[in-house]
Amino acid sequence: MKLAFVISTQPTQFQAIAFDPNFEGNAAHLANLGYDGIELGVREPAKLDAAELKRTLAKYRLAVPALGTGQAFVEEHLAFTDPDAAVRDQAVARVRTHIALAAEFEPKPLVIIGLIRGKTHPTISRAQAHAWMVDALQTLAREGAARGVRFAIEPINRYETDWVNDVAGALTLIDEIGADNVGILYDTFHANIEEPSIEASLRACGARLFHVHLADSNRWYPGAGHTPFANILATLREMRYGGWVSAEILPKPDVKTAAGETFKTIKPLV
């Protein structure tokens, strides 16, 4: 397994994690700690200088395992289940730009589908919104497949979304989408809230486990709460999971301490 740290390429309401306003400063710090990659939260890929980003990542020998899309919902309210067709179209169009950014890298980061699913709206039936979501994801999965890009559906806890809170829900949605390039992003913070058993739910992902987010029970760095990371990483090893684990954590007590402590706890377990 390889270890990454999530940072945002732009300021965001979702607990922006960045050490330095300058991306290169973040890359240098993570590379120096020994991380293998940086997962990027990207609100608007079209506004990024992809060539510059690639140059910096290559300089520090860092890979990009995944691109987050949730800021497009948090900051701009773009969602696959929005009642307004124009907003739904913009959500799909935005993720299309994440696919284009992913296609610039080798290996290609996967595109995360989390909060951009949206939330149930009082004027729209669940069945209707669900149909829109599946339709959006089938379209994007097809377009991603043509460019070698994979997607990861992230179960997210009930306080943030009511579309797909657990692995069982993600597996059902993935079956409906019916595409090989769609899997699961398992986030230990959400799983701690929603899953009856961390180990059983991890195993239930099977070969659909495409990516993992690590955060402790309080969303601080691993080791700061009561999530059993030794067991989780042992389960992943037993499953022969060879992908990435990315720390997606609050910058507490400060981001440098959080990244350093994560590395100390997780690196011996991967």
What residues make contact with ligand LER under the rule CB under 6 A?
A: 14, 68, 70, 114-115, 154, 156, 160, 187, 213, 248
- Report CA Rg, the chain: 17
Active site residue: 39, 154, 195, 261, which one?
Answer: 154
Minimum CB–partner distance for residue 51 and ligand LER (Å): 26
Active site residue: 194, 195, 248, 261, which one?
Answer: 248
Q: Indicate the residue among 58 and 243 with the shorter CB distance to ligand LER.
A: 243
Minimum CB–partner distance for residue 58 and ligand LER (Å): 25
From ligand LER, Mn ion, none, which one binds at residue 70 (CB under 5 to 8 Å depending on kind)? Answer: ligand LER
248 included as an active-site residue? yes
154 included as an active-site residue? yes
Residue 139 token pair: 């379209």
- Name the site residues for Mn ion (rule: CB under 5 A): 187, 213, 248
Minimum CB–partner distance for residue 187 and ligand LER (Å): 5
**Residues 129, 120 contacting (CB under 8 angstroms):** yes
- The catalytic residue positions are 154, 248
